[in-house]
Amino acid sequence: MEDEQAMQVISLSPIDLSLAALLVIGLALLSIPMRLQLSRQLLVAGSRTVVQLSLIGLVLKALFDHIHPAGLAVVAAVMVGVAGVEIMRRQKRRFAGIWGIGVGTLSMFVSSFCVTVLALTVVIDIRPWYHPQYAIPLLGMILGNTMSGIAIGLDRLTATAWEQRAVIEARLSLGFGWSEAIEAIRREGIRSGLIPIINSMSVVGLVSLPGMMTGQILSGTLPVEAVKYQILIMFLIAGGTGFGTILAVSLGARRLFDDRERLRLDRLRS
């Protein structure tokens, strides 16, 4: 009887959530006398959290009630589009025109969707594979982390290329091809994008308990099963982030040169 009671999901009331929200409000108020200029941002971010998660909760409920690949495709397209815009906004110097959002969005789409579909069809083997209960949470976690890796990698690539433009042009004048001229910068950009996920995998279970595993345990899932799913998620995130960052930085590096292998920093804007 006690085991059954322990496995029951404890429902949270609006009052419970309001008490938790007081932490954010208190932090915003504390930032005012400290002149951090973050009070408005904290309140807006907190409000957006409530609104956005409430809306996605309603959307997921509708998708769960009417399982159809078209509904999943619409939600996935919105997620990828928003993530692509966010990647562009995080860069100090980004590509001009459609390339500004295209490089990150395309790379994220290819890597994240391939990894997610692989997990759904081969690893988990859910039927149908587009069941939103599995597809959307998996895609969301992979997209979120892949977005961060790509944003960091592209930002490092473009910022370093701008700072070391004289070095790149000197290599080109010595007969190096565009790939050789920017190889060290490209490698550093990819490395920067992969460091966060490597750090996360290194300390998971020792320093941090990931949100997915914690949520599953709180909802009544056996810890051993929660751990299995978290291991799966970490590996999927690593794959999506790694392949996405490599593709994005490689495409970005090529975009910095024209067909005659001349450095074209005029294709960047701040």
Predicted pLDDT at 7: 55
Last residue of a domain, one of 66, 100, 119: 66
Determine what percent of the chain is predicted with pLDDT higher than 90: 44
Who wins on pLDDT, 185 or 100?
185
Last residue of a domain, one of 10, 44, 66: 66
Question: Does 36 share its domain with 83?
Answer: no
Predicted pLDDT at 6: 46
Sign of CA dihedral 217, 82, 54, 132: negative
- pTM for this entry: 0.82
Contacts of 146 (CB under 8 A, 6+ apart): 83, 108, 111, 112, 237, 240, 241, 244, 245
Predicted pLDDT at 9: 65
Question: Does 176 share its domain with 200?
Answer: yes
Determine what percent of the chain is predicted with pLDDT higher than 70: 97
Question: Does 88 share its domain with 202?
Answer: yes
Write out the residue range of the structural domain in which residue 33 sits. 1-66
Mean pLDDT of the chain: 88
Judge whether residue 35 has pLDDT over 70. yes
Question: Does 122 share its domain with 154?
Answer: yes
Question: Does 237 share its domain with 186?
Answer: yes
Predicted pLDDT at 148: 92
Closest CA to 70 of 145, 128, 120, 19: 128
**Segment 96-105, tens digit of pLDDT:** 888 889 999 9
Question: Does 177 share its domain with 236?
Answer: yes
8 A C-beta contact, residue 249 and residue 153? yes
Tell me how many domains the chain contains.
2
Question: Does 204 share its domain with 121?
Answer: yes
Last residue of a domain, one of 47, 66, 85: 66
**Segment 190-238, tens digit of pLDDT:** 999 999 999 988 888 777 777 777 777 777 778 888 888 888 888 999 9
The string of DSSP codes covering 220-268 is T--HHHHHHHHHHHHHHHHHHHHHHHHHHHHHHHHHTB-TT--B-GGGE
Question: Does 87 share its domain with 33?
Answer: no
Mean pLDDT in residue range 232-248: 92
Cα 120 from Cα 135, distance rounded (Å):
7
